[in-house]
Amino acid sequence: MVFKLFESLEEFLDESANLIFKIYKESITKYNQFSLMLSGGNTPKPLFEKIAKDYNDKINWERVFVFWADERYVDKESDDSNYKWAYKLLLSKVNIPQNNIYRIKTELPLEKAAEEYEKEIINFFQGKEPAFDLILLGIGKDGHTASLFPNSDLLTENNRLVAPVSPAGEPYVPRITVTYKVLNNAKNILFLSSYNDKKNIIDEIITNKEKAKEKYPAARVEARRIYFFSCQLPTAPRGGGL
């Protein structure tokens, strides 16, 4: 695992965007496509803006396929929707074909939305084990990642790739999440998080992963290459959204 602690938000965003672009280039060279899974929360918002601003022309968006690691079960226009922010700040600003965007369809009944999304992932990987080129993840203050919360039955889920989740953390709405079957088979995982408010969790994951696994779902992620980028300063705009 590569761990980097940044002292400024600018540096954190620069290095994160650089790494994403490097993995994009590697994937295009090897597979002629780049499958990317995004997460919600506040941390990725300024990064989405940066990629739209600085990388739009450098990326062949026709070969980029975007999914989400989790979604809140809300309308796609809601400020709580993970899709909404990624679309508003990044996807609507770049030349990505609409068909390359795999939104989790929260207009369907919860179970059905999870099933449909799972089918989309299976079809995208043509029935093989899904192996995303890059998954961006965050860490919650309770150590959750995607929508895998402490004590959830999904921590030991071995069959499903995607599952519905009962309300467990802010905002208190049901969610849909991928499971470790997807996370742990990714080629690259990049955790992005603030540091000061999650210091205990992050330090424990870095120094004593086995012990951290008992408490924090984020510590159970075991992909081939894991990068852990953390920023000393707040990564989110004050007062909620942008």
Q: For residue 179, state whether it binds ligand 6PG (rule: CB under 6 A).
A: no
Q: For residue 202, state whether it binds ligand 6PG (rule: CB under 6 A).
A: no
Residue 81: CB atoms within 10 Å: 22
Question: Which listed range, 5-13, 19-27, 115-123, 144-152, lies at the site for ligand 6PG (CB under 6 A)?
Answer: 144-152
Q: For residue 174, state whether it binds ligand 6PG (rule: CB under 6 A).
A: no
Q: For residue 205, state whether it binds ligand 6PG (rule: CB under 6 A).
A: no
- Min dist. Cβ of residue 32 to ligand 6PG (A): 29
- How far are the Cα atoms of 184, 194, 211, 231 from residue 150, in angstroms, in the given order? 17, 19, 14, 23
Interface map 53-72 toward ligand 6PG (x if CB under 6 A): -----------------x-x
Q: For residue 145, state whether it binds ligand 6PG (rule: CB under 6 A).
A: yes
Q: Tally the C-alpha atoms within 13 A of residue 23's C-alpha that lie toward its C-beta.
A: 23
Token pair in block for residue 184:
């742990």
Q: For residue 81, state whether it binds ligand 6PG (rule: CB under 6 A).
A: no
Token pair in block for residue 68:
């989400």
Q: For residue 42, state whether it binds ligand 6PG (rule: CB under 6 A).
A: yes
Figure out which of the listed residues 103, 144, 187, 213 binds ligand 6PG, where binding follows CB under 6 A: 144
| β-strand partners of 2 | 227
Question: Which listed range, 11-19, 51-59, 99-107, 143-151, lies at the site for ligand 6PG (CB under 6 A)?
Answer: 143-151
Question: Which listed range, 18-26, 54-62, 141-149, 180-188, lies at the site for ligand 6PG (CB under 6 A)?
Answer: 141-149
- Min dist. Cβ of residue 82 to ligand 6PG (A): 5
Interface map 95-134 toward ligand 6PG (x if CB under 6 A): ----------------------------------------
Q: For residue 230, state whether it binds ligand 6PG (rule: CB under 6 A).
A: no
Q: Which residues bind ligand 6PG (CB under 6 A)?
A: 39-43, 70, 72, 82, 138-140, 144-146, 236
